[in-house]
Amino acid sequence: MTISPRVLLSIDYEPWFALFRRYDSLTDPEQRRALDGGFTLRALDPILDQLGSAKTSIFLVGEIAGWYTEVPQKIVAAGHELGLHCHIHRPLKNVDDLAQDLRASAHWLRQYNVRGYRAPMVGISEAAYPLLEANGFVYSSSMYAPAGLLLQRGNVWEIPVSTTNPRIHAQYAAPRDFTFKLLLHGEFPYGSSFSIGLMGGQILRIIERELKRGLSPSIFLHPYELVKPPASARLTRDLVLHPHLLPFLRDKSGFLKTLLRHFPVSPLGTYLDEMLKTRVSYPPSVERPEGVI
């Protein structure tokens, strides 16, 4: 028994300024909320409208749940899977920083029984997995690897953001850092919204090809790619200083519309549940590669 291939669509729901590392050290919650300027609240209804009847995983930055309690409520009420993208968006590879970050969001994680985690910058450390497990997470989607892989660390499943298959044979394990060398070997991270911003139409063709092969590609978008953040001198200056980030701010609502018109999508948690049921149905004598189902 196999499950039907679908696009594992997620939105890393973060403020526009999460793009720029210069705001990582801004610790005053009121200043951070003022910088968001209500965008993450205003953007939600238009994004839910764009999604229509399609269901996704929305990995929420916890400080947004603190600013606007209606944001997680509306996500769940619209039938999407609510996940965690961290409490304050910054690199969180240090396990003590991650532990503190998880504590800051603990109340709404419990309230909504959150099971899925996406690390900021899709970067996770080995020590993060036991910590995620201890905090009730069932899966993470915090590394890059070819579509179709499902890896296990303890009792936490890793559902990678998708890349194309490399030209050379490779072994996969969680965690995994995406390096330039992998790119040279033909592994292209098409699931990243950066890649979608660079070459949207071609990404749709890659997705179509993967689905035809029976694989379920995992891709992510951001709210500021679906609804335009307010123009400001600050944003303009940040982009002038970091022009390589421009693909992140390219409007992807057209991409999303085409994706939803042509391909089935599902939240990551739904896919995992179906995959695990399928796995149990195999006779115990069937050999499987270590950690891969």
- Contact residues for Zn ion (CB under 5 A)? 12, 14, 120
Q: Least distance to Zn ion from the beta carbon of 283, Å?
A: 41
Nearer to Zn ion, 239 or 293 (CB): 239
**CA-based nearest residue to 271, from 194, 196, 189, 216:** 216
Nearer to Zn ion, 178 or 263 (CB): 178
Token output for 227: 């609804």
**Residues 6+ away with beta carbon under 8 Å from 218:** 7, 8, 10, 141, 147, 159, 160, 161, 162, 191, 268
Q: Least distance to Zn ion from the beta carbon of 89, Å?
A: 6
Nearer to Zn ion, 100 or 202 (CB): 100
Nearer to Zn ion, 104 or 293 (CB): 104
Q: Least distance to Zn ion from the beta carbon of 204, Å?
A: 22
CA dihedral 282, 287, 289, 291 (to 10 degrees): 50
- Confirm if 265 and 89 have CB atoms less than 8 A apart: no
C-alpha torsion sign, points 272, 78, 41, 199:
positive
Q: Least distance to Zn ion from the beta carbon of 277, Å?
A: 30
- Confirm if 65 and 88 have CB atoms less than 8 A apart: no
Q: Least distance to Zn ion from the beta carbon of 150, Å?
A: 22
Nearer to Zn ion, 135 or 142 (CB): 142
**CA-based nearest residue to 93, from 127, 58, 130, 143:** 127
Instruction: Kindly tell me the burial class for residue 281, based on how many C-beta atoms sit within 10 Å of its own C-beta (0-12, 13-18, 19 or more).
Output: exposed
Spatial distance between the Cα atoms of 153 and 176, rounded to a whole number of angstroms: 12
Nearer to Zn ion, 5 or 83 (CB): 83
Q: Least distance to Zn ion from the beta carbon of 222, Å?
A: 7
